[in-house]
Structure 1
């Protein structure tokens, strides 16, 4: 009886060891292979000198990142740790991918970046389906403090950068949101006399602010929409760009990458450039312009800029303001677009008199194919404002 019990225990122990053996462990090489299959669509790949697996943690050591379209661009990354790795229908999910802190120093420049990670990663089983499930997505990409020093003095700093992706419930759209906070730039170290004089008179020795971007990508029609891409600087102003175009599909991206790779592989540079140019023109046929807007909200930089420019020309700020208001109608008249001429003149006059905000918008009634825009630019440039539905406003 005791012998039978002992034998059963040994069999159970052997079974437990078997199921815990490497045959049932994660395949670190396959994880890297699947990641690279997804990266190739974006024209990049990573390599690792060694791969180690410990439970659900995979560590890539001696990692390098390089563009598949230009093999000479190899960037050393260091070690990358993947925590919470699980197989998922031939692909993988990764709770968190952490990177070594960046410490780069060459000559008089030193760059430090810390707390770099990506979380909620989904690695596709098949990156060639041309659908959303073929893309490597993530929930959040994060970078902590960034510091750039020149001659031991900090010239640029960033407290934190966070990018998030959100997939719609029907898998038709990906929304994205980027926030870069704690931006600082020190221009007081500029030594060129003329540039330093401009910086001092414009009072931009120390710049601070933040950058934000958000938008969405509709997969099937390839409609890329950037609702906000803004840089907001204290005592300067807020510059924001928004735009939308369609036709930017997964197939379009793959075709573009193939064209660039073919260009890099061709030893005949002139022939390669011509072939790439033709390929890009062909790809442009697939894109359509939907809308665009550029706006600026002044935070006192406009008056300082006018005063500085006036001083350079031996004028007062008021004299230069009146000169600008008088020149704009004459310059616009050369374009032969009367409606836009009146709108631009009115907007410039209003903004010069009381700088608040200035906006240039283009919103056609329906999407305009890029080839049509190019044709108008070459054949009848004065029709572009009407084709694109351009408007100009100020202080609204």
Structure 2
């Protein structure tokens, strides 16, 4: 596969296309056919009233993007979409330099939704969606969204400055890497009308939110090891919630089987028997995966104290008293969960966190990957064995 070679190679390929002339003119119909073949397992299809080729650009006119499901769902329609800098490789695959989408500006009743600067760059379309390994996957080097604005009754309720997602391929073409950032996320919850909810939001200091999101990871396609290094949401004056995990068994074959089951569920949304059968099949597929490690961490930025103060007020007490009540309740709740020796560790971590809210971490690090069926079986039959089975640890302020 030639995806993500050096810029020199891409330029050479473009030059070659330019000099070969009409004999190797782009086939827009073939390109759309191969895009649809890549989308097929996800139940998505693209149609166009007409396709025009202008040099290295392919122009789709009267484009409709549809997803399999209830007949009442209408496809997304675009008057025109230009695929810029398209080149065809020897293996029948395509490389698209850039796809720019029109600005989204939708108004429904009292709400408006606006998105600007949407584009994809460095898009790879496989020549054969049924090929082995990475050669069968569609990629993009960058997906980008500019400002997003949502208003209700003319008042801003949500906005986002920018979202960027990137993908890459290792030199040996065995691992896909990915990163994503969402910046300038702002939400105004002062418009909530329910009196009780409005009171809670104000007491917790959540009237306005300002934050960012990040994600990074990698996927070894052949071994099926997916590693999410960081998936975090960070809001000012609230806190940062981070998730990291690694699983094995998430192979390309498994992904395609899960997509097929999802398609079957979408195709028969009203058929309860079919939904149950597909759900059981999906559960069976998930059992092919194993847990390598996982971690959930929360770093406090003020929400814990406000939460205790609010909860205490509803009980006729202050936040400090409420904290002591929580510390007393935790051992009782843990005893019901039958977590064995982990109960003392969790109680100690909760006590330390309530006394000085900085960070709370839950981590699982088994000595060897643990198959999910083993974890599920332990949860149902012997929950007290789970901590030792997955190497579970709970710590505070580390």
| Other-structure match for 1:84 | 85
Cα shift at 1:50: 2.3
Larger Rg, first or second structure (1 or 2):
1
- Which stretches of structure 1, 4 residues or longer, exceed 6 Å deviation after superposition? 19-23
Unaligned 5+ segments in structure 2 are 1-18
What SS does structure 2 have at the residue aligned with 1:393? strand
| Other-structure match for 2:218 | 216
- CA distance 1:357–1:81, change in 2 (3 Å): same
Unaligned 5+ segments in structure 1 are 1-18
| Other-structure match for 1:325 | 327
How many residues get paired? Answer: 378
What SS does structure 1 have at the residue aligned with 2:337? coil
> For 1:76-115, what aligned pairs fall within 5 Å after superposition?
76-78=76-78, 79-89=80-90, 90-115=92-117
Instruction: State whether residues 56 and 85 of structure 1, in contact with CA within 8 Å, keep that contact through their aligned partners in structure 2.
Output: yes
Cα shift at 1:153: 0.8
| Other-structure match for 1:9 | none
| Other-structure match for 1:11 | none
Instruction: State whether residues 356 and 395 of structure 1, in contact with CA within 8 Å, keep that contact through their aligned partners in structure 2.
Output: yes
Q: Which deviations, in whole Å up to 9, do the C-alpha atoms of 1:92-147 show, x marking residues without a partner?
A: 11110111111111111110001000101111111101311111111110000001
CA RMSD, Structure 1 to Structure 2 (Å)? 1.9
> How far apart, in 2, do the equivalents of 1:387 and 1:218 lie?
25
| Other-structure match for 1:15 | none
Q: Which deviations, in whole Å up to 9, do the C-alpha atoms of 1:352-378 show, x marking residues without a partner?
A: 011000011111111111111121122
Cα shift at 1:24: 4.4
> How far apart, in 1, do the equivalents of 2:154 and 2:269 lie?
43
- CA distance 1:69–1:373, change in 2 (3 Å): farther
Task: Calculate the TM-score normalised by the size of structure 2.
Answer: 0.90
What SS does structure 2 have at the residue aligned with 1:338? coil
Instruction: State whether residues 101 and 113 of structure 1, in contact with CA within 8 Å, keep that contact through their aligned partners in structure 2.
Output: yes
Pick which of 296-305 and 34-43 moved more. Answer: 34-43
Instruction: State whether residues 288 and 371 of structure 2, in contact with CA within 8 Å, keep that contact through their aligned partners in structure 1.
Output: yes
> How far apart, in 1, do the equivalents of 2:71 and 2:218 lie?
31
| Other-structure match for 2:206 | 204
- CA distance 1:288–1:326, change in 2 (3 Å): same
- CA distance 1:287–1:217, change in 2 (3 Å): same
> For 1:311-322, what aligned pairs fall within 5 Å after superposition?
311-322=313-324
> For 1:118-129, what aligned pairs fall within 5 Å after superposition?
118-129=120-131
What SS does structure 2 have at the residue aligned with 1:137? coil
What SS does structure 2 have at the residue aligned with 1:360? strand
